[in-house]
């Protein structure tokens, strides 16, 4: 089996399936790389000391990682008498990742290194409703252009990460009944792109990749994080033990269609009424403001109006924050996160939304759950999705199991 074929198999294997290598060919290689991914150079003795592996085993594993290019020599450590020992460090430029953040009407595409650093990127107005072939052809064409611009080839790809603006079954990379994406239901996104690029193609919804990007770029110390995107719609990405929590079918975090306790009137596009999205999303607020005589068309107009100091707009945002807080308060009791990040376009409108969220959560959730809970605005902004799409591929491709398969050349 070639390396790429193996990676494809892993990409489509269900997360709960049996491990590909229950007895890895090079046990410990992936663990050594995981250690070195923090960027600190270490000697063979240091690696033996930390991992408990025999010195001879460490030497073999270091050699195989050197051969793969994933680590390289990084100078000499201070000598304790005799020849100073060589240190080794992770080489983030060893491979690259192609990451796409596809929204309803825009697309962002970037090439990153293995540390999630953006090497080059592009964005364009791309309508997701044009269907999967047109949109993914755009990704493929511009992806090749980015590789060329960076002086890399498709052979350098660790994989491709895609974020879609709708529900995604992560294990198969297929969108499932996405409301704003005609033609995408059940479409085999990995299959379509794997004909054009080497490496696995991983797909998730836009909110999960934003949560991952925000966590990776700013809050790596917070192992339990909830990222709430408040824009035209409302969704939540859950990070648990440092990983995206997706649930059984990838539907975890879909908080937009939880009913707000005090409101059972507003009809929702899902067919129910009183959903959070129907009362507190950008479109819901815009609609309410239109009813009060304002000329607003969507979430971004609401942000503009709030920034201009409009009292009705600020009041609406504060109430939307409280409504989101009502739903989040229950989740805080259930999941006990240490950090809630509020992002999406409505979070750009200042502190009123955040203040409303804080007010209700601290009032409604259990004291033990809120004791050390911080509630903050997104720090990464619009790049969160693209970073998260890359991180999804990096964490998969550099997991100890994958690395062991990669260096053993199975």
Residues 276, 284: contact at Cβ < 8 Å?
Answer: no
Q: Which is nearer to Zn ion, 53 or 279 (CB)?
A: 279
Strands (E), 129-260: 157-164, 168-169, 174-175, 201-205, 225-230, 234-240, 243-244
> Shortest gap between Cβ of 276 and Zn ion (angstroms)?
8
d(Cα 327, Cα 258) in Å, to the nearest integer?
7
275 vs 320, beta carbon nearer Zn ion: 275
How many CB atoms are closer than 10 A to CB 2? Answer: 9
The residue among 28 and 178 lying less far from Zn ion, judged by its C-beta, is 178
Write the CB contacts of 7 (distance below 8 Å, at least 6 apart in sequence): 159, 199, 200, 397, 402
Judged by CB, which is closer to Zn ion: 75, or 261? 261
Site for Zn ion (CB under 5 A): how many residues? 5
Q: Which is nearer to Zn ion, 98 or 268 (CB)?
A: 268
**Residue 206 or 404 having the CB closest to Zn ion:** 206
- What six digits make up the tokens of 351? 């502190």
User: At closest approach, how far in Å is the CB of 209 from Zn ion?
Assistant: 22
Rounded to a whole number of angstroms, the minimum distance from the CB of residue 259 to Zn ion is 8
Which residue number, 11 or 275, has a Cβ lying nearer to Zn ion? 275
Minimum CB distance to Zn ion, residue 324 (Å): 14
Compare residues 275 and 354 and give the one whose CB is closer to Zn ion: 275
CB count within 10 Å of CB 231 equals 24
Rounded Cα distance between 359 and 152, Å, is: 50
Q: Which of residues 242-301 bind Zn ion (CB under 5 A)?
A: 257, 268, 270, 272, 275
Instruction: Return d(Cα 143, Cα 163) in angstroms, integer.
Output: 15
> How far apart are CB 171 and Zn ion at their closest, in Å?
25
Closest Cα partner for 47 from 90, 76, 87?
87
Cβ nearer to Zn ion, comparing 11 with 258: 258
C-alpha distances in Å from residue 91, one per residue of 22, 40, 84, 287: 27, 11, 22, 51
DSSP 272-332: -BSBHHHHHSHHHHHHHHHHTT----SHHHHHHHHHTT-HHHHHHHHHHHHHHHHHHHHHH
Q: Say whether residue 327 binds Zn ion (CB under 5 A).
A: no
Residue 371 phi, psi (nearest 5): -50, -50
d(Cα 96, Cα 110) in Å, to the nearest integer?
A: 10
The residues binding Zn ion (CB under 5 A) are 257, 268, 270, 272, 275
């Amino acid at each position: 089996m070639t390396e790429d074929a193996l990676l494809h198999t892993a990409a489509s294997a269900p997360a709960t399936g049996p491990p590909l290598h229950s007895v890895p060919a090079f046990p410990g290689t992936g663990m050594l790389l995981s250690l070195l991914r923090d960027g600190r150079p270490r000697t063979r003795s240091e690696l033996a000391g930390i991992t408990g592996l025999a010195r001879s085993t460490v030497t073999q594993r270091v050699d195989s990682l050197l051969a793969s290019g994933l680590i390289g020599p990084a100078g000499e450590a201070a000598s304790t008498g005799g020849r100073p020992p060589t240190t080794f460090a992770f080489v983030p430029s060893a491979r690259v990742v192609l990451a796409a953040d596809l929204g309803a009407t825009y697309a962002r595409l970037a090439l990153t290194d293995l540390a999630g650093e953006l090497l080059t990127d592009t964005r364009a107005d791309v309508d997701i409703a044009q269907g999967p072939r047109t949109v993914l052809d755009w990704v493929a064409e511009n992806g090749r252009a980015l590789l060329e611009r960076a002086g890399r080839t498709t052979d350098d790809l660790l994989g491709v990460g895609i974020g879609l603006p709708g529900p995604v079954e992560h294990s198969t990379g297929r969108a499932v009944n996405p409301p704003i994406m005609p033609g995408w239901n059940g479409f085999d996104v990995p299959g379509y792109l794997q004909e054009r690029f080497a490496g696995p193609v991983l797909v998730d919804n836009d909110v999960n990749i934003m949560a991952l990007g925000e966590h990776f770029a700013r809050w790596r110390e917070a192992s339990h994080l909830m990222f709430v995107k408040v824009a035209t719609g409302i969704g939540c990405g859950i990070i648990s033990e440092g990983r995206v929590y997706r649930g059984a079918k990838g539907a975890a975090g879909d908080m937009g269609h939880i009913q707000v306790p005090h409101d059972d009137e507003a009809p929702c596009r899902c067919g129910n009424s009183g959903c959070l999205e129907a009362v507190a999303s950008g479109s819901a607020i815009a609609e309410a403001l239109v009813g009060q005589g304002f000329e607003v068309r969507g979430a971004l107009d609401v942000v503009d109006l709030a920034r201009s100091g409009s009292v009705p707009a600020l009041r609406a945002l504060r109430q939307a924050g409280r409504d989101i807080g009502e739903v989040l308060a229950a989740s805080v009791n259930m999941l006990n996160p240490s950090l809630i990040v509020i992002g999406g376009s409505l979070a750009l409108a200042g502190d009123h939304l955040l203040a409303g969220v804080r007010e209700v959560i601290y009032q409604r959730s259990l004291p033990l759950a809120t004791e050390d809970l911080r509630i903050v605005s997104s720090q990464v902004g619009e790049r969160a999705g693209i970073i998260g799409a890359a991180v999804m591929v990096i964490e998969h491709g550099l997991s100890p199991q994958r690395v062991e398969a990669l260096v053993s050349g199975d």
